[in-house]
Amino acid sequence: MGASHLSRRHFLTLMGSTAGVVALAACTSTGGALTANSGGTAPATQKKALIFWGHDQHPLDLAAEGFVQQHPDITWTPVHSDDWLQKAKAAMAADSGAPDLLWAEATDAQEWGCNDLLTDLTDIIKPAINDYSPLKVNETFIVTRGKFIGWPGDISVSGWYYREDKLKEAGYNAIDFENLTWPDFLAIAKDLKAKDMYAFVFPADGWSPLFMFILHQLGGTAVSQDGQTITAGDDKGVQAMQIVKQLWDVGGLDVDWWSYAYWAALKEGKLIGDFAAAWARGFWEAQLKDSGEIGGVGHWRIAKFPAGDGIKYRTGIWAGAQLVNPKAGANSEGARTFMQYALGSQDGATRCGKWGIIPAYRPYLASRDFLDLRSPMFGDWEFAKFWADQEKELSPEFYRPTGWATVNEVIGREMVPLLKGEESVEDGMKRIIAIATPDFERTKCKM
What dihedral do alpha carbons 55, 321, 112, 363 form, nearest 10°? 130
Strands (E), 25-100: 48-53, 74-79
Residues making up the chain, counted from first to last: 447
What are the C-alpha distances in Å from 161 to residues 259, 284, 386?
17, 11, 12
> Which pLDDT score, from 0 to 100, does residue 291 have?
81
Domain with 386 in it: 8-155+319-391
Per the domain annotation, does 266 fall within a domain? no
Compute the average pLDDT of residues 249-256: 97
Distance between CA 175 and CA 168 in Å, rounded?
A: 10
CB-based contact 399:220 (threshold 8 Å): no
> Which pLDDT score, from 0 to 100, does residue 226 have?
94
Compute the average pLDDT of residues 318-341: 95
Task: Give the CATH number, domain containing residue 24.
Answer: 3.40.190.10
> Which pLDDT score, from 0 to 100, does residue 336 have?
97
> Which pLDDT score, from 0 to 100, does residue 296 have?
87
> Which pLDDT score, from 0 to 100, does residue 37 have?
37
Q: Smallest Cα–Cα separation from 189: which of 243, 233, 112?
A: 243
Per the domain annotation, does 306 fall within a domain? no
- Residues 6 or more apart whose CB falls under 8 angstroms from that of 182 comprise 243, 246, 306, 307, 308, 311
Per the domain annotation, does 121 fall within a domain? yes
Distance between CA 19 and CA 171 in Å, rounded?
A: 64
pLDDT tens per residue, range 338-361: 999 999 999 999 999 887 789 999
Long-range contacts of 80-83 (CB under 8 A, 24+ apart): 80/29, 80/31, 80/53, 80/54, 80/55, 80/56, 81/29, 81/30, 81/31, 81/53, 82/29, 83/29
pLDDT at 5 over 50: no
pLDDT at 4 over 50: no
Per the domain annotation, does 104 fall within a domain? yes
Per the domain annotation, does 406 fall within a domain? no
Q: How many domains does the chain have?
A: 1
Give the torsion sign (CA, 56, 261, 286, 351).
Answer: negative
pLDDT band at 8; cut points 50, 70, 90? very low
pLDDT tens per residue, range 35-94: 333 344 444 447 899 999 988 878 899 999 999 999 999 999 999 988 999 999 999 999
Instruction: Specify the higher pLDDT residue, 388 or 23.
Output: 388
Q: What is the CA radius of gyration of the chain?
A: 22
- What is the DSSP secondary-structure string of 129-195? GGGB-HHHHHTTEETTTTEE-SB--B--BEEEEEEHHHHHHTT-S---TTT-BHHHHHHHHHHHHHT
pLDDT at 135 over 90: yes
pLDDT band at 330; cut points 50, 70, 90? very high
10 Å CB burial of residue 347 (0-12, 13-18, 19+) is middle
In degrees and rounded to multiples of 5, residue 160 shows phi and psi of -100, 105
pLDDT tens per residue, range 149-203: 999 999 999 999 999 999 999 999 989 999 999 999 999 999 999 999 999 999 9
Per the domain annotation, does 222 fall within a domain? no
pLDDT at 16 over 80: no
CB-based contact 300:161 (threshold 8 Å): yes
Distance between CA 207 and CA 214 in Å, rounded?
A: 12
Distance between CA 228 and CA 40 in Å, rounded?
A: 39
Instruction: Specify the higher pLDDT residue, 46 or 224.
Output: 224
Amino acid code (one letter) for 405: A
pLDDT at 206 over 50: yes
Instruction: Specify the higher pLDDT residue, 100 or 286.
Output: 100
pLDDT at 247 over 60: yes
> Which pLDDT score, from 0 to 100, does residue 290 have?
83
> Which pLDDT score, from 0 to 100, does residue 218 have?
98
CB-based contact 328:8 (threshold 8 Å): no
Instruction: Specify the higher pLDDT residue, 394 or 31.
Output: 394
Distance between CA 98 and CA 37 in Å, rounded?
A: 7
Q: What value does the mean pLDDT of the chain take?
A: 88
Compute the average pLDDT of residues 395-417: 96
